[in-house]
Structure 1
Amino acid sequence: MTVRVRFAPSPTGMFHVGGARSALQNWIFAKQHHGVFVLRIEDTDTARNRPEWTEGILSALDWLGISRGSYEGPLFQSAYAGEQAKAIRGLLDDGRAYYCTCTRDDVVERTGNKHAGYDGFCRDRGLTSGAIRFRTADEGTTTVVDVIRGEPTFENRLIEDFVIARGDGSAVFLLANVVDDITMGITHVIRAEEHLPNTPKQQMLWEALGQKPPVWAHVPVVVNEKRQKLSKRRDKVALEAYRDEGYLAAAMKNYLMLLGWAPSGDREIVPWDVIEREFRLEDVNPSPAFFDEKKLRAFNGEYIRALPLEEFIDACEPWLTTIPGYDRDVFARVAELAQTRIALLSEIVSNVDFLFVDRPTIDEAAWAKASKDAHILPAVIEAFERLSTWDATTLKDTLVAVGETHELKLGKAQAPVRVAVTGRSIGLPLFESLEVLGRERTLARLTALAA
């Protein structure tokens, strides 16, 4: 049997980091078993679907290394309406489903309980129109065999006759999902824990349609620091946002795979080929997984520092080319220094933009603090003008000497120099920066704030 897994996002918004984790887990599982990864776009929510969201899904997967052409699809749920209608008709003909015209208010009125489930009122009324409900068993249990969660068992009497089709005959998610999986030959369903409550219903549908259910694996919910499920309304969850801030795909992939799983040994930063080799569904922890953005940021910093220098320069260029006057050769002279100081690629701009602009934008708060020692600047300018050699060592020795004549240690002496030249109080090593900036531009900036 060929293993076939699917990743089935809806094109209704940005690409959720939890979805990205599920995609990676499915991708690895398929590769490990020489199987097939199917991308299915669940596009039946026509009111919310937008083509750009579908393209966003494809682009996000590309970024994660799940590239177009390496998987089956994208397939679209809307293309399977015929198979879904056929399944609905079969269930009706077999007596496993029936028409129902009850509203929620009807159920509440009959039961006197606004929280009551459907009471089966239309089960045997012989209606020929309305929504369509699946007839669940009145007794017994349904056991879901789950690779991660064992064998959770559900009492059938507690599962109401659930809707499988709307009044217009179109399948709802529960049925459409099952029919699509059957049609596509899906053998393993690896998805988020939030779908577990639906699983006994879907398993009933698989069996009612004469099919053996797939292997289930429900991965843990991803939560924030308050242990609340990540929400796009409250939390930063869009994969695109992290990508656009300058997170590396390799760091993101590594971190996402650690949400509920751990590689062998006392390590977390692991080469992708090791993750692909070691990951096992049965080793996934069912407990909620904390998405720690601070930890992800630290991961990213480690991955940035591990890049070969030329790759680091290439990775930074999408941000650097937004700076007027950017020069790759100039950046290359400070790239190694910058590489150790940033955790996000987007931070490169604030570290090096002063090298390319005509005049830096002065941080007023930084200057307010540094200007207390700005009286040193005329002497610094005079000393720098006399230098015959313009290099980092000579510049540092010169500023140390000037500082001593003004009874200022180097930290105090260099503060107004740094802000005048770079616009900020922190950044790359000062004297290496001055060397690259050059004598003329350095003196012009010092003079501008010494006046």
Structure 2
Amino acid sequence: MNEVRVRFAPSPTGYLHVGGLRTALYNFLFARKNNGKFILRIEDTDRNRYVEGAVENLIASLKWCGLEYDEGPDKEGGFGPYMQSQRLDLYKKYADELIEKGHAYYCFCTPERLQVLKEEQAAQKLPQAKYDKHCLSLSKAEIDEKLASGIAHVVRLNVIPNQKIVFNDIIRNRVEFDSSNVDDQVLIKGDGYPTYHVANVVDDHLMQISHVIRGEEWLSSTPKHVLLYDFFGWEKPIFAHLPLLLNPDRSKLSKRQGDVAVEDYRAKGFLKEALVNFVALLGWNAGDDKEFYYMNELIESFSLERVNNSGAVFDLEKLNWINAEHLRKKSDLELLEMLKTEILNFQFSILNYSDEHLLQVVVAMKERVSFVKEYLTKSPYFFTAPAEYEEASRLKNWKPETPEQLKVLRNKFSELNNPSKEDYEAALKQTVADLNIGVGKIIHPLRLAVSGQSTGPGMYDLLFILGKEEVIKRIDKAIETIK
């Protein structure tokens, strides 16, 4: 095989969709696996949909995910420019070549005529609306006159009907279309800009793209691209069309049913390693039941032959699980740094916590959190005293005799000197024995008093991390507050 050269070619119409991330990721993995090149090309020829700042957002999202491209708008590789809007002369040159060969023609039909044609075909219940080749019959003199008069026009592909268009797809094997169902696609629009189809084929050829790996939604456009390759006399790349991403109800993944932008998941605290791991599994597996991957393992295992051709369901619960797994695999020191960053975004940022205290929190809660922010949302009591107490636990565990029992325990704690977890445990057990009550009678109210909650890490871990003075202060406050 010649050098593998693949591309991710998004349009700058907003954010990077998770479907776009999967396309980019599969291209990236395939390139790295085969020691090839991964190219970023920006397809910005649809000026009506262009969004200012979208290119920068796309690049930032790709880089955040670790998808470093070898060539692109800010990384010249000898095949640029990598923005289609900077390549317009090329597309005109090749469109002119198609016109000269009879494979394309000028069309001067007005939007009004095209609308009438569309309505007529709809009334006839034709399988699809197609242009009727009306302008193909114009003589050269008529065409020259209209062009000289500055009449608005487009350039269309001249599709010969009743032919079979066949290509092989790595994921779908042999794919066949009848050319009678292929429209005379507009190649150059009235504003002089190319449509996706001609720009895509010209750029893929000139950039020596070996494999076109893209979403299934482009499958129906591929016959037009195959015709263009044949009309130009160019070698076709190898195609691979990825399955659709689906909501759990198997409808097409869309913003109506939840977040679809990479930046949304980043903002919610998902780890980039987890998002990449999860997205890799949307339509691909290595042939086993392994679900936890780091990037280097994905590169090693990936192959297009293992991509399914049926839709892949976007399961948010699975993403949450993968995120938790990746979080737990991080070292305590890594989590410490992440927690310190997260604290800056919370109301606790005005307080100072020692690394020692935060490390203890990390260890105590590591198995109980799926996101870094949950160190703060699930266990705020490590950072500030409870302002309120969980109602259900108060009703169940706080009895009329509880305040007096907690006072005995509090006095026991006050006698301790620099207590360890074991010291707290011994003091509590001694108090239980002295009062002749069950452990539950005091341990549940104690947890409520110091944390405001009924669940959390081990009781003695909690007391040790908070420290003797803070524990006593919180017990006193609870006795005074809870009625």
TM-score, length-normalised on structure 1? 0.91
C-alpha spacing 1:374/1:318, structure 2 compared with 1 (3 Å): farther
Query: Structure 1 residues 370, 281: closer, same or farther in 2, change over 3 A?
Result: same
1:187-226 → structure 2 map (5 Å cutoff): 187-226=210-249
Seen in structure 2, the aligned counterparts of structure 1 residues 411 and 219 have a Cα distance that, compared at 3 Å, is farther
**Structure 2 portions without partners, runs of 5+:** 75-81
Structure 1 residue 383 displacement after superposition: 1.8
1:289 is aligned to: 312
Q: What are the equivalent positions in structure 2 for 1:50-61 lying under 5 Å apart?
A: 50-61=51-62
2:476 aligned partner? 447
Secondary structure at the aligned position of 1:268 is classed as: coil
Distance apart, 1:275 and its partner CA: 2.2
Task: Mark the CA change 1:241 to 1:416 in structure 2 (over 3 Å): closer, same or farther.
Answer: farther
The equivalences for 1:327-406 within 5 A come to: 327=353, 328-357=355-384, 359-362=385-388, 365=391, 369=395, 372-373=398-399, 375-387=401-413, 388-389=415-416, 390-399=419-428
Q: Is the 8 A contact 1:384 1:398 kept in 2?
A: no
| TM-aligned CA deviation for residue 355 of structure 1 | 2.4
| Deviation, structure 1 residue 346 | 2.0
Does the C-alpha gap of structure 1 residues 211 and 445 become closer, same or farther in structure 2, counting only changes over 3 Å?
same
- 48-57 or 196-205, larger mean C-alpha shift: 48-57
After the TM superposition, which of the residue ranges 391-400 and 327-336 deviates more from structure 2?
391-400
2:78 alignment counterpart: none
Which shows bigger deviation, 107-116 or 198-207?
107-116
Q: What is residue 121 of structure 1 aligned with on the other side?
A: 134
Tell me the secondary structure at the aligned position of residue 427 of structure 1: coil
Q: Which moved more, 1:429-438 or 1:366-375?
A: 366-375
TM-aligned CA distance change 1:355 to 1:91, over 3 Å: same
Moved more, 23-32 or 309-318: 309-318
Given residue 383 of structure 2, which amino acid in structure 1 is its aligned partner?
Answer: F
- CA shift for structure 1 position 191: 0.8
1:84-163 mapped onto 2 (5 Å cutoff): 84-100=91-107, 101-103=109-111, 104-108=114-118, 110-111=120-121, 112-113=123-124, 116-126=129-139, 127=143, 128=147, 129-163=152-186
Structure 2 CA distance for partners of 1:356 and 1:211, relative to 1, 3 Å:
same
Shift of 1:189: 0.6
Residues 391 and 432, structure 1, Cα contact 8 Å, conserved in 2: no
**Counterpart position of 2:26:** 25
Question: How far apart are the structure 1 equivalents of 2:192 and 2:61?
Answer: 34
Partner of 1:340: helix, strand, or coil? helix
- Please say if residues 17 and 237 of structure 1, whose CA atoms lie closer than 8 Å, have aligned partners that are also in contact: yes
CA contact (8 A) 1:374 1:450 kept: no
Q: Deviations over 1:2-47 (max 9, x none)?
A: 2211011222222211211111111111122221111112223434
Gaps of 5+ in 1: none
Q: Which amino acid aligns with 1:269?
A: F
Question: In 1, distance between residues paired with 2:274 and 2:424?
Answer: 38
Asked if the contact 1:320–1:326 (Cα under 8 Å) also holds between the matched residues in 2, the reply is no
1:65-76 aligned within 5 A: 65-67=66-68, 70-74=70-74, 75-76=82-83
Q: Report the residue type matching 1:186 in the other structure.
A: I
Residues 147 and 217, structure 1, Cα contact 8 Å, conserved in 2: yes
CA distance in 1 between counterparts of 2:400 and 2:165 reads 78
Please say which of residues 118-127 and 282-291 is displaced more in the overlay: 118-127
State the SS of the aligned residue for 1:122: helix
In structure 2, the residue matched to 1:6 is 7
Q: CA deviation at 1:342?
A: 0.8
Q: How far did 1:97 drift?
A: 1.5
SS at match of 1:118: coil
Which residue of the partner structure matches residue 430 of structure 1? 459
In structure 2, the partner of 1:231 is 254
Cα distance in 2, alignment partners of residues 147 and 95 from structure 1:
32
TM-score, normalising length: structure 2: 0.85
Q: CA deviation at 1:356?
A: 2.6
1:443–1:257 CA distance, 2 compared to 1 (3 A): same
Q: 1:211 to 1:355 in 2, by over 3 A?
A: same
RMSD: 2.5
Give the deviation of 1:377 after TM superposition.
Answer: 3.5
Partners of 2:410 and 2:475 within 8 A in 1: no
Determine what percentage of the aligned residue pairs are the same residue.
32
Q: Is the 8 A contact 1:149 1:286 kept in 2?
A: yes
Do residues 15 (structure 1) and 16 (structure 2) align? yes
Match of 2:77 in 1: none
Between 298-307 and 93-102, report the one with greater CA deviation: 93-102
The Cα of 1:433 is off from its aligned counterpart by 1.6
The question of whether the paired residues in 1 share the 8 Å contact of 2:247 and 2:257 is answered with no
Q: Partners of 1:448 and 1:88 in 2: how far apart?
A: 80
* Secondary structure in 2 matching 1:191: strand
1:175 to 173, 194, 198: 198
Choose the corresponding residue for 1:240, options 254, 259, 263.
263
| AA in 2 matched with 1:61 | L
Query: What displacement does 1:153 show?
Result: 0.1
Going from structure 1 to structure 2, the CA distance change for 1:274 and 1:258 (only over 3 Å counts) comes to same
* Distance in 2, Cα, partners of 1:11 & 1:59: 13
